[in-house]
Amino acid sequence: MPEPRRRPDGERPGGRGGGAERGQGQRRGPRRRSAQTPAQRARQADPARAVAYRVLRQVDTEEAFANLVLPAALRSAGLQGRDAAFATELTYGTLRLLGLYDAVVAVAASRPVEEIDGPVRTVLRLGVHQLLGMRVPDHAAVSATVALARQQVGQGAGGFVNAVLRRVSEQDREAWVAQLLAPVDDPLARLALEHSHPEWVVRALRAGLVSARGAPTAEQELAPLLSAHNTPGPLTLVARPGLGAEQELEDAGATPAPVAPTAWVLPQGDPGALGSVREGRAAVQDAGSQLLTLALASAPLEGSDQQWLDLCAGPGGKAGLLAALAAGAGARLRANEVSEHRAELVRHTLVGPVHGGAQVDVTVGDGREIGTAQPQTYDRVLVDAPCTGLGALRRRPEARWRRSPQDLTTLGPLQRALLDSALRATRPGGLVAYATCSPHLAETELVVRDVLKRHPGVEQVDVRPWLRDRSGNPLTDLGPGPWAQLWPHLHGTDGMFVALLRVPGRSLG
């Protein structure tokens, strides 16, 4: 999202105004007009919109992650309850639908968005989301956004924003989509525009669906998958086994998630306010991450089962669950992370399991070197490899705009080197789980196939029977195997990939 040159406009403001009614979801029905004059409009932006603006500017100019900066911004502004929820929806909703909104703004402003000054462009995106993606009445959306522009950018910007948003408000989202799609013939390009994804991401997701689900099914499921990326995921917690968090979660209103035996869904509230979360006995974690960790820990193993390794542990979510499971199995976990800063996050995350009796060593080092430094040492190894994150777009909305195909050229060799190291660090007969939060074939199947060419004795274990729901039944729709691909639109989890490999009963070359 490059920063364009500044160009404050002074177009005459039009006639919208009113209060600050709020709601969520896409608004339908006829447009409502305001009889208020510009002079009657709000002069000051409300705190919720100001918070969303500041967070989006940080995402745009500092490559910040919204999920990291938004909570701090909400606390700094003292926002809670409905105001915090409104600011959150403004932030995440705008980021998810940014591609579609930019196309709308370009038409309404009669210029490419790249020619609009960055701060003004951010204000316009927030205004368009209120008009086309939320149930905020037109007069309130325009009035409050103009006030935001005047406060954050200047009077001239307020006039331009008012004029553009008036044009946007002349038709609803369906009509805008129909207008934008009219000249587009390519089916995947149409889906990319309608569902606000970069076209290369749509093509990569289609390829992943074809591999896992077959071509006819993939054609039917691509649009639901893209739509799922634009729907906020549930607030899912993990109750780390053996640490007694379940009753506290239930008392707080959380309900057991059927998709994974350790997963709970908190319908509302701040998870950080829960004692079990503060103490590390529970944590916020997507159910897909829990499932693959449980699969590695539960798959059968002959012989020693005392030494476990998380090769890329930062920031520590899977290590936290793995540590609790290792404690239950009488094993010791080494949680390795290449970054000292992220290793500190791992140490913090593991406080709960350690207080519960888990034996854990947190180390800082390059995971690619452990296979050589400690060959044939570990019984179970997790490789949660760095990836594009295309499977977690509903939780990391800025990722789709920040990533590019060029990232694969950097990540691919790293992923292969980490898996290669993991196999060397595993004792004969031991297990390695290779995982990514991406369904991109270049980060999943192709990595496993390439690495196994160098280790022809390694056995691919069918991981699907070990991905089990709360009732103990194997999940369905995981693909043809032996690896498994989870999907947001099918399983309600992030799009996690996992392959399970067994090292042969002899040393690897």
| φ, ψ for residue 245, nearest 5 deg | -95, -15
**pLDDT band, very low/low/confident/very high, at 43 (cuts 50, 70, 90):** low
Per-residue pLDDT at 45: 72
Mean pLDDT of 134-154: 95
Average pLDDT over residues 30-51: 60
pLDDT greater than 80 at residue 478: yes
Q: Lowest mean pLDDT: which of 99-103, 167-171, 381-385, 453-457?
A: 453-457
Report the alpha-carbon distance of residue 161 to residue 67 in Å, rounded: 27
pLDDT digits (tens, 9 = 90+) for 310-350: 999 999 999 999 999 999 999 999 999 999 999 999 999 99
Terminal-to-terminal C-alpha distance of the chain: 45
pLDDT of 238 over the 70 cut? yes
156: pLDDT strictly greater than 90: no
Residue 64 buriedness (CB in 10 A; 0-12 / 13-18 / 19+):
middle
For residues 122-135, average pLDDT: 97
130 by DSSP, 3-state: which? helix
448-473, pLDDT tens digit by residue? 999 999 998 999 999 999 999 999 99
User: What is the pLDDT at residue 44?
Assistant: 65
pLDDT at position 170: 97
What does the pLDDT average to over 86-98?
A: 97
pLDDT over threshold 90, residue 190: yes
For 369-396, give one letter per residue: b (16+ CB within 10 A) or e: ebbeebbbbbbbbbbbbbbbbbbbbbbb
Tell me the average pLDDT across 421-437: 98
Q: What percent of the chain has pLDDT over 90?
A: 87
Which residues share a beta bridge with 474?
Answer: 468
Whole-Å CA distances, 117 to 64, 130, 154, 257, 450: 19, 20, 12, 45, 46
What whole-number distance in Å separates Cα of residue 31 and Cα of residue 369? 62
- Candidate from 2-11, 87-96, 121-130, 264-273 with smallest mean pLDDT: 2-11
Residue 269 contacts residue 277 (beta carbons within 8 Å): no
Helical ranges in 29-183 per DSSP H: 47-62, 66-77, 81-96, 98-109, 118-132, 138-152, 155-168, 173-181
> Residue 269: which pLDDT band, with cuts at 50, 70 and 90?
confident
Provide the pLDDT confidence category of residue 155 given band limits of 50, 70 and 90: confident
What confidence score (pLDDT) does residue 327 get? 97
- Local structure of residue 23 (DSSP, 8 states): -
Instruction: State residue 376's pLDDT score.
Output: 97
pTM across the whole model: 0.89
DSSP β-ladder status, 359-364 and 332-337? parallel
Model confidence at 506, pLDDT cuts 50, 70, 90, reads: low
Give catalytic residue positions.
437
Single-letter code of the amino acid located at 12 = R
State yes or no: pLDDT of 25 exceeds 90: no
User: HEC string of 165-212?
Assistant: HHHHCCCCHHHHHHHHHCCCCCHHHHHHHHCCCCHHHHHHHHHHHHHH
- What residue has token string 């709601």? 23
Predicted local confidence at residue 176, as pLDDT: 98
